[in-house]
C-alpha cells in the first residue's frame, strides 16, 4: 500500500512521519480533564517525560493551560511560569527530544521555542492572537493547526454543522492558505475531536477523516480518553483507555500520522498491530 511520505523540520531535526508516531501529553495544569495536578513539580514532570520516551513517544507535548470544555484562559505569565521550567528540564536531560508546546499565544510560542521547544500546537488556529501565524513563520517551526467551533468556555454549548467533515476541510483549506502565504512550511492538521462538536459530530468526523488526505499534510489525532468515548460508554476518563485504543485503530486506518495520547505504551501497541495489518 502506498503511504504518503512526510517529514517535519524541527529546528534541524527531521521527524519522519512515513509511519505513524506518538505525541505524549504532558499537562502542567491543575485542572485538565484527566490528569490535572499530577505533573506540577520538576520530579513528576521529568518522571512522566522519561516514562513516555521509554515507551515510544517521539514528541512530548507540553501544555500550561487547560482547554477542557468550560475552561477559562489564564494569564500569559502564569502559562509561561508553568511550561518554561518543564521545557528546560526535559531539554537538559533529553536534548534530542522533540518538544511541542500546546499554546494559543505568540508570546508563549516565542519563549518556549527559545527555551528548546520546536513545534507549536495551537487549538485556536490563530483565532485568539493575531500575531501567532506570523510568529510561527518567523520561528520556522512546524505548526499544528486545529479546528474548534467557539472557544473552550462555550464550545460545547450548542455545536452546529450541516456536514462536519466538509466544513472542517473548508476551514483547513482556508487556514493552510493563510499560513502558506506567510511562509510556514511544515503544517499538521488536527480535526479537533471534542472541540465544539457533539458526540455524534466526533464520530462522523472520525469516519470521514480520510477526506483530509486531499490536503497532503500529516493528520494528528487527539482522541485520548475524551468524552466522545467515556460518555458513550457511560464511564469516566480514567476508565476510557480500552475505548481510546479501539478508536486509535480507526484513526490509523483513516490516515492519522500522529496520535496525541496520555498512554504511550498502549498507543504504541496499536500502531504495531496496524503496521502488521498493512503488511499482510
Q: Which residues are catalytic?
A: 226, 260
Q: Is the Cβ–Cβ distance between 150 and 160 less than 8 Å?
A: no
- In 3D space, the residue among 205, 235, 237 whose CA is nearest the CA of residue 221 turns out to be 205
Q: What is the Cα–Cα distance from 119 to 21, expressed in whole angstroms?
A: 15
> Per this entry, what is the length of the chain?
280
- In 3D space, the residue among 190, 261, 185, 262 whose CA is nearest the CA of residue 220 turns out to be 190
Number of C-alpha atoms within 13 angstroms, CB side, residue 27? 18
Q: Long-range contacts: 230-235, Cβ < 8 Å, 24+?
A: 231/199, 232/199
State the distance between the two ends of the chain, measured CA to CA, in whole angstroms.
10
Amino acid at each position: 500500500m502506498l503511504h504518503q511520505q512526510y517529514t517535519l523540520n524541527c529546528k534541524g531535526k527531521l521527524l519522519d512521519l512515513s509511519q505513524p508516531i506518538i505525541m505524549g501529553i504532558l499537562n502542567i495544569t491543575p485542572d485538565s480533564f484527566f490528569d490535572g495536578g499530577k505533573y506540577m513539580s520538576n520530579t513528576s514532570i521529568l518522571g512522566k517525560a522519561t516514562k513516555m520516551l521509554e515507551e515510544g513517544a517521539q514528541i512530548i507535548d507540553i501544555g500550561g493551560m487547560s482547554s477542557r470544555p468550560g475552561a477559562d484562559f489564564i494569564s500569559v505569565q502564569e502559562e509561561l511560569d508553568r511550561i518554561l521550567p518543564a521545557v528546560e528540564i526535559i531539554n537538559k536531560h533529553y536534548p534530542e527530544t522533540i518538544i511541542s508546546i500546546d499554546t494559543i499565544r505568540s508570546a508563549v510560542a516565542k519563549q518556549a521555542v527559545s527555551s528548546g521547544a520546536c513545534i507549536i500546537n495551537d487549538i485556536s488556529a490563530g483565532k485568539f492572537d493575531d500575531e501567532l501565524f506570523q510568529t510561527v513563520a518567523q520561528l520556522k517551526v512546524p505548526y499544528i493547526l486545529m479546528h474548534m467551533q467557539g472557544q473552550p468556555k462555550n464550545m460545547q454549548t450548542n455545536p452546529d454543522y450541516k456536514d462536519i467533515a466538509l466544513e472542517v476541510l473548508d476551514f483547513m483549506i482556508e487556514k493552510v492558505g493563510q499560513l502558506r502565504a506567510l511562509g510556514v512550511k511544515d503544517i499538521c492538521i488536527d480535526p479537533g475531536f471534542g472541540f465544539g462538536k457533539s458526540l455524534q459530530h466526533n464520530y462522523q468526523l472520525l469516519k470521514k477523516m480520510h477526506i483530509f488526505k486531499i490536503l497532503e499534510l500529516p493528520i494528528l489525532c487527539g482522541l485520548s480518553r475524551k468524552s466522545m468515548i467515556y460518555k458513550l460508554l457511560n464511564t469516566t476518563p480514567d476508565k476510557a483507555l480500552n475505548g481510546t485504543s479501539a478508536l486509535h485503530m480507526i484513526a490509523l486506518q483513516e490516515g492519522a500520522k500522529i496520535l496525541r495520547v496520555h498512554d504511550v505504551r498502549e498507543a504504541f501497541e496499536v500502531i504495531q498491530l496496524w503496521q502488521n495489518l498493512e503488511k499482510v
